[in-house]
Amino acid sequence: MKEQLSFLIELQKLDLIVGKIIGKKGELPDKILRMDEGFADSAKSVEESKKKFEELNELQGEKEDKLRKGIDTLKKTKDRLLEVKTNKEYQAMLKEIETIENKNSEIEDEIISGLEEIDRMRTEVKTKVKDFSTHRSQYEREKEKLEKEIAQLDHDLQEAEQRTAALRKQIRDELLKRYERIKGRRNGVAVALVWKEVCGGCHMNIPPQMYNELQTSVDLLTCPNCNRIIYWHSQGENNG
Ligand SMILES: [Zn+2]
């Protein structure tokens, strides 16, 4: 029975390890997904800024075109001024020139503020491209690390599962069934160490007489409080 108990203790340790590995493995794909999304977001943000910068430049080109045409129109109108015959016509022409000049001056103002906006956007694009490059190498490094971690967990899991399967074969059927039953009811822990009369599973005291019995008995004992299979071993040198 002592040997069977030691198998159960080992099985319990392995089952907890397997549970931990599965839990960890379950978190990692989500972590990678969030990283992928973050990376895609910054790539998008860089592209949007670049696009905005191009659009601003295009708009600026259109305004410069408009100004060139405005200056041209102004020159032509001034030339026509020489050909007018009446004062009334002359006054109308002056009015027209003033309107064109005002319009041109408006476009000039727009071009100047456009240049400021373009400068600002150029700096933004530069900063974003630089940040993105930092983000990219960080992202690639982290992702590689996580993928290695997943591979390691897969390996550990496989190993633990093989050891578990081998161990299960050595445990008597009805004992294994009992173990699984308690495990299912008691949060995955069916076997608990008792130390100084306290059950490691439920942290309640067990009767002193039972504690004495536990240290000498060859029978399997269970905690009167949580029903877990309990065991004892000297904690002098070994804390496990
Ligand atoms: Zn207990």
Domains of the chain, by residue range, sit at 20-171, 174-231
Give me ligand 1 centre to Cα 176, in Å.
Answer: 19
In the sheet with 229-231, reading across from the earlier edge strand, the strands are 198-199, 191-195, 229-231, 221-222
Question: How would you write the pLDDT of the chain (240 residues) with one tens digit per residue?
Answer: 789 999 999 999 999 999 999 999 999 999 999 999 999 999 999 999 999 999 999 999 999 999 999 999 999 999 999 899 999 999 999 999 999 999 999 999 999 999 999 999 999 999 999 999 999 999 999 999 999 999 999 999 999 999 999 999 999 999 999 999 999 999 999 999 999 999 999 999 999 999 999 999 888 999 999 999 999 987 654 444
Give me ligand 1 centre to Cα 204, in Å.
Answer: 6
Q: Please state whether beta strands 198-199 and 191-195 pair in parallel, antiparallel, or not at all (unpaired).
A: antiparallel
Helices (H), 82-231: 87-170, 173-185, 208-216
pTM for the full predicted model: 0.70
Give me ligand 1 centre to Cα 222, in Å.
Answer: 8
**Helix 87-170 × helix 2-81 angle, to 10°:** 170
Q: What top-level class would CATH report for the domain 20-171?
A: mainly alpha
Give me ligand 1 centre to Cα 202, in Å.
Answer: 4
120: left (phi over 0), alpha (psi -120 to 50) or beta: alpha
